[in-house]
Amino acid sequence: MLRQFQLGEQTVDVLDLKVLLVGNGADVPDSTYQAFGSRYRLADPSNLMACNCVILPGDVAAHLTANDESPFRIGISANNEPCLEYNGQFVTEVSFPPFTTFYEQTTSLGRSYGLLAVLEGMGILAFHYLWPCQFARSGNPCAFCFQALADVAGMDLPSPTPEEVGEMVAWGIQNGCVRDVQLTGGSRFSPQGECPQAAAILRGIDAAVGIQNIPGEIYAYLSAPAQPEAVDEVFDAGADRVSFDLDLWDTDLHAQVCPGHAKHIGRERQLKALEYVAQKYGPNKACSSFVVGLEPLESLIEGAEYLGSRGIVPLFSTWMPGVDPILGLDRPPELDYYRRAREAFARIYDRYQLVPPGITAGAHVSMCRDIYTNLQDVISTPESEN
């Protein structure tokens, strides 16, 4: 059974806590940074490249956005350990990932690791900007994408070379802070060009460390090429999986939230590429993320079922609100929405024997591994009773 906690008069479980923390953030006072910053991977939020997370009981990683107006607070327990509080009341002791000097390192070109990638959870090295997003630079970004918003704001985010990516992966594996590698670039008007770039990066990793020496998996998030066969080069270069993200199953809502993606790529091309990978490479090799919380539950589950029945892993990415509302929403749905969504994904994983990517304790906003690790606990009632 998932561990339960009390928030005032409301009883929640650990996966509920993750959803609430992703949606609300937490107040993290200076005393907490001072007490634990040298012991754990916990950066002061004045560091714009900080990508903090809190590890909840059961090794559930949750993104930690500093928000002094949140009802949640990361404090210090009576045992001098970090703890989670809700409206001033103790909820549970928590932890953070182990301390690392990753963010203090620079590449052979003199660029900070933190400008090029972030560490997530207990061992995911996520390269978030391998090439610029042309949709964002043309004024058509996906509304939920923080990297795209940085592009629109005029931030000149650097993209690493394949050699720099290889250096960073090698350093992370040698120092024990990297187990899985996630490759993400911006979207291109002609996505055919993304596959050769991803393949070049994979070859850079292989040259530096040997892809076979990555403890976990390496997966690439790409835009679907017009000719699905282009992705063969990515698998040939060593990727374990690829993801062509649908984001929302409802096409009308998708066009509002992801205008560039809807105009230049669209669902038909994404599905064609996903099904090509599933048919050629087998189940669990193709994935597709949904931003969970932005569309009606029925639509979300319909899309996840469509993919799952074809051997494609639907990925559960919890919507993290930003500065501006999306589709008129400025905060996530109620917990019942997420509870029903995660149970539906659990049943799909179970029914079709699907395994989400990674071997770590999970990513910051994704709940795929959390659901999979707690599969039978999440499937709380017989399907016939739903």
Which tens digit of pLDDT belongs to each residue from 14-48?
A: 999 999 999 999 999 999 999 999 999 998 876 76
Strands 286-292 and 10-13: unpaired
Whether the per-residue pLDDT at 8 is higher than 80: the answer is: yes
For position 384, what pLDDT does the model report? 38
pLDDT value of residue 151 = 55
Mean of pLDDT over the chain: 92
198, 222 Cβ separation under 8 angstroms: yes
Q: pLDDT by residue (tens digit) across 195-233?
A: 999 999 999 999 999 999 999 999 999 999 999 999 999
Angle between helix axes 162-174 and 194-209 (nearest 10 degrees) is 40
DSSP state, 384? G
pLDDT > 60? residue 152: no
In contact, 30 and 45? CB cutoff 8 Å: no
What's the pLDDT tens digit per position in 62-106?
999 999 999 999 999 999 999 999 999 999 999 999 999 999 999
Cα separation of 331 and 24, whole Å? 8
Q: Could you tell me which of 354, 296, 128 has the C-alpha nearest to residue 221?
A: 128
Per DSSP, 202 falls in state H
The least confident of 221-235, 251-265, 360-374 is 360-374
Tokens of 143: 């509304």
Q: Give me the helix-helix angle, 297-308 and 335-352, nearest 10°.
A: 10
* Of residues 247, 187, 249, 241, the one with CA closest to residue 216: 241
| DSSP label of 39 | T
Domain 102-381 CATH superfamily: Aldolase class I (3.20.20.70)
Q: Angle, nearest 10°, between helix axes 14-24 and 335-352?
A: 120
Q: In this structure, are strands 72-76 and 82-86 parallel, antiparallel, or unpaired? A: antiparallel
Domain ranges for the chain: 4-93, 102-381
71-to-15, 296, 333 alpha-carbon distances in Å? 17, 27, 17
Residue with the larger pLDDT of the pair 269 and 189 = 269
**pTM for the structure as a whole:** 0.94
